[in-house]
Structure 1
């Protein structure tokens, strides 16, 4: 399937750990996962070949980056939490509804969770979402036209922004690069924000999907606010600052822990 990376669960955990800590030695990883150093070297060599990690003396570290993390890395970071979020979102989408999807890894995983539905009408500028949706013959899939961004496999710019204005969908599903302490939604590119805001303006209900790592994460382009969305789907309780911002708002917060307790 387009966009998916063939790695093991252990490799995904290694990538997640190194991204969070900034460095891990081969010996420490071998001890943590209770395997040989030769096994760990094979794991990290594969991750380095994919550009997800890079070798350094005695271990591995995240690749140098001057902005957003590469899509291939984002696909596997916090993967378990993203899948839980996706399963929860799928329970809030009905058969036959129209759904607009933005770019990003979490919306892509939500689309995967929706493949058991019937008769959805999908509108997206995310080619990973489009190809995933095409696996269900009962879905109608409409995509934006324009120039393709190779790394993220998406369409942004005026074409994508205008694309979403032609439809009024039941649900808009989108992620963000980060959420500031005051609730401002953040991304790395103006065109990404414009497309996301176009989805927000042309849906009846809006679902912001993001794992806990996005709260407090910095990015430099402002675009919208948490109070603008109908529902936030995340894996943990939102930070106290966000909870305060949402007091009195119509925005609902649904966490995967709520789903597990239900």
Structure 2
């Protein structure tokens, strides 16, 4: 905990956290600096006036990334955790299954693991994931069209949503921007959240993937509540869903990195 400290120190630390994580939260910063949340809100307002960040509900995001870090930056975070999550999640899938896979750094790792399973049908809005699946000739790959967003390496928007609505799958495998113990799974990007929501609507089961950096956080878009999450694969050992009724449905699979005990 960084007790006291000047506003300049807080501002510099906030910008450093934004650079590393892409977003910050008022509650977390207030605890870290041991100051009132209103103090943090004033800090964020000041930094926004200098065009150094963008305030959102509950915190702020990196304005330089247009509210979302690009894939190259996201892919560098928690690499070992994402690989462990990918292996555990792929263990749920069996030959003959049909999958929706949305685009994200964790779902790319999942695709690298699941491509070893023969005779799948994979539906994705990501050319990157479609290319990975083509390494296994027994996998049928359907690439969803739409507006291609280069920073996210994905097709989004109305066309993508319409394409998804015409298809159905056994599983929707979704990368998570944030998971909130009370609300459910969340995303910082409106269009990505809409794609994830449509995929889960047209699937029998939802598998959500979240490394520990996403746990006990929140974002501006709710993808869905816990009542719709069938499986959560995470590296967070202490995560528990607040709603006991929803927790009955959601199976939590703990993925461990090589240095952790199973």
TM-score normalised by the chain length of structure 1: 0.70
| Residues 212 and 238, structure 1, Cα contact 8 Å, conserved in 2 | no
Q: CA deviation at 1:257?
A: 3.9
Q: Distance in 2 between matches of 1:220 and 1:116?
A: 35
Q: Distance in 1 between matches of 2:244 and 2:73?
A: 31
| Residues 80 and 257, structure 2, Cα contact 8 Å, conserved in 1 | no
Q: CA deviation at 1:114?
A: 1.1
Q: Distance in 1 between matches of 2:214 and 2:118?
A: 31
2:251 corresponds to which residue?
A: 252
| Residues 102 and 195, structure 1, Cα contact 8 Å, conserved in 2 | yes
Deviation track 1:28-60 (CA, whole Å, cap 9, x = no partner) reads: xxxxxxxxxxxxxxxxxxxxxxxxxxxxxxxxx
| Residues 84 and 257, structure 2, Cα contact 8 Å, conserved in 1 | no
Paired residue secondary structure (2:172): strand
| Residues 227 and 246, structure 2, Cα contact 8 Å, conserved in 1 | no
Q: How many residues align?
A: 206
1:86 corresponds to which residue?
A: 86
2:117 corresponds to which residue?
A: 117
Q: Distance in 2 between matches of 1:101 and 1:258?
A: 23
Structure 1 residues 246 and 70: CA distance shift in structure 2, 3 A: farther
Q: Distance in 1 between matches of 2:100 and 2:112?
A: 14
Q: Distance in 1 between matches of 2:219 and 2:213?
A: 13
**Which sections of structure 1, spanning at least 5 residues, go unmatched?**
1-16, 23-61
Structure 1 residues 181 and 97: CA distance shift in structure 2, 3 A: closer
Q: Distance in 2 between matches of 1:257 and 1:88?
A: 9
Q: CA deviation at 1:219?
A: 2.2
Deviation track 1:224-251 (CA, whole Å, cap 9, x = no partner) reads: 12331110001122434x3555665311
**Is residue 67 of structure 2 the alignment partner of residue 67 of structure 1?**
yes
Structure 1 residues 120 and 247: CA distance shift in structure 2, 3 A: closer
Structure 1 residues 247 and 119: CA distance shift in structure 2, 3 A: closer
Q: CA deviation at 1:85?
A: 0.5
Q: Distance in 2 between matches of 1:76 and 1:188?
A: 18
2:29 corresponds to which residue?
A: none
1:212 corresponds to which residue?
A: 212
Q: Distance in 1 between matches of 2:193 and 2:238?
A: 22
| Residues 164 and 198, structure 1, Cα contact 8 Å, conserved in 2 | yes
Q: CA deviation at 1:217?
A: 3.0
- Aligned 1:4-153 pairs, distance under 5 A: 65=65, 67-153=67-153
2:57 corresponds to which residue?
A: none
Q: Distance in 2 between matches of 1:183 and 1:228?
A: 11
Structure 1 residues 68 and 234: CA distance shift in structure 2, 3 A: same
**Is residue 160 of structure 2 the alignment partner of residue 160 of structure 1?**
yes
2:226 corresponds to which residue?
A: 226
TM-score normalised by the chain length of structure 2: 0.70
Deviation track 1:1-33 (CA, whole Å, cap 9, x = no partner) reads: xxxxxxxxxxxxxxxx996699xxxxxxxxxxx
